[in-house]
Amino acid sequence: MVLVAILTACVSLVRNILQAFLYFIIPRPAITDPQANRIRDSRLTAQFIQKFEEKYGNTHPEFFQGSYSQALDRAKNDLRFAMIILQADEHDNTKKFNRETLTSDLLISFLRENDFLVWAGNIKDPEAFQVNSILQATTYPFVAVIVLATPHGNTGMSPRMTVVDRIEGLLSPEILIARFTILINRYGSGLQRIRNERAERDSARQIREQQDSAYLASLQADQEKERKARELAEAKKLASERAKREEEERMLLLANKEKWRRWALTQLPNEPNQNETNVTSLSFRLLNGERVVRRFRADDTVEMIYIFVDTYHMRKETSSSSTVHQPPEDYVHTFDFLLVSPFPRTVHHVDKLKTIKNVSGLWPSANLIVEGLTSDDDE
């Protein structure tokens, strides 16, 4: 009996070694995952983990809680070795494998330290049964190791998820660790190369994004400067045009005032002589402090007094060549002063119709003060 047990163990060991050797030299099929076969329901995996813990306890590798497809995607994205475990309840080695191998602290520590992703299922479940068909397992427990790699003899192809080892039947934790170590030594450098390439691409992408962001920020800053410069130039242009227009209006107003005053001089009657009767003598204190006395006829209007004061500074300058016979068109003259009797203070507003004799403060004589108008003058 002892000899039979020894022979059986030797045969099993030789078979496993030969199996490992053959799968390292024979090209492995790439794992394809058609969309139609992607099953993403993680409830079956959760049920497997629950049943496993009920039978064998909580000491086991950290099983991936998701579908087989999700496990492959995670391993591919994270650049990790995927350990795929398929079991069948009717096989005698299942219990021993679970109790002695999967609960081994040595194996659990190895898988954790080397960042293996572990997915397990029972072939009686639909998803695990489908995975069994994909991986073509015939003996249980079955373990496949899948990793992102370039298929043998196809160095020009892009890396893809490939079965790099298949283990069928009962194996000790030590033998599993030995085989996994060989895989790490063989494919770990390829994973690291892919990591480096990804890191370089990510770094280049980040640099491009930073450059694009900096360029965009610079472009936006330049556009903002140009916008402000245009707005400033437009504002200056509008201000210049407004100032020019206002200056033109001011000069036109001054010209019209000047023209109107020269015309008004022709409308002002001559001063009555000393022998005339029905005249009034008005004494003015002008805005510059000068005092002027002038006689007006009784029938002269109050407006005539305003015209006299408004054109007084022009009387000595007026010549026949500067005489204006028509007032300017589209112009209404306004006087920028008031005539005021001081005691009592009485304002005599300009009036084209009212005659001097009908204004008690102006007849038969009066002292008048010329007051300049201001913007807040209410009178």
Confidence check: pLDDT of 300 > 90: yes
Name the strands in the sheet holding 365-372, side by side, starting at the edge strand that comes first in the sequence.
291-297, 279-285, 365-372, 337-341, 346-348
- Regarding the domain with residue range 36-205, which homologous superfamily does it belong to in the CATH classification? Glutaredoxin (3.40.30.10)
Confidence check: pLDDT of 364 > 70: yes
Confidence check: pLDDT of 346 > 60: yes
Percent of the chain with pLDDT over 70: 84
Report whether 348 contacts 362 (CB < 8 A). Answer: yes
For range 28-32, the mean pLDDT: 46
Higher pLDDT, 69 or 43: 69
> Please, which pLDDT band fits residue 14 given cuts at 50, 70 and 90?
low
**What confidence score (pLDDT) does residue 44 get?**
85
Domain ranges in the chain are: 36-205, 268-372
Q: What is the dihedral of CA 32, 35, 36, 37, to 10 degrees?
A: 50
For range 69-78, the mean pLDDT: 94
Confidence check: pLDDT of 313 > 80: yes
Candidate ranges 114-123, 151-160, 316-325; pick with highest mean pLDDT: 114-123
C-alpha to C-alpha distances, 150 to 34, 166, 194, 228, nearest whole angstrom? 19, 17, 11, 58
Confidence check: pLDDT of 58 > 70: yes
**What confidence score (pLDDT) does residue 155 get?**
63
**What confidence score (pLDDT) does residue 3 get?**
59
**Nearest residue to 19 via CA among 150, 182, 157:** 182
The CATH class that applies to domain 268-372 reads alpha beta
For range 342-368, the mean pLDDT: 91
**What confidence score (pLDDT) does residue 7 get?**
58
For range 279-304, the mean pLDDT: 94
Higher pLDDT, 23 or 124: 124
> Please, which pLDDT band fits residue 39 given cuts at 50, 70 and 90?
very low
**What confidence score (pLDDT) does residue 374 get?**
76
For range 303-318, the mean pLDDT: 86
List the structure tokens of 277.
Answer: 């009767």
Mean pLDDT taken over the chain? 86
Confidence check: pLDDT of 113 > 90: yes
**What confidence score (pLDDT) does residue 216 get?**
92
Strands 117-122 and 82-87: parallel
Beta-carbon contacts of residue 344 (< 8 Å; ≥ 6 apart):
none
Strands 142-149 and 160-168: antiparallel
Separation of alpha carbons 206 and 48, rounded Å = 42
Confidence check: pLDDT of 29 > 60: no
> Please, which pLDDT band fits residue 271 given cuts at 50, 70 and 90?
very high
Q: Any idea how long the chain is?
A: 379
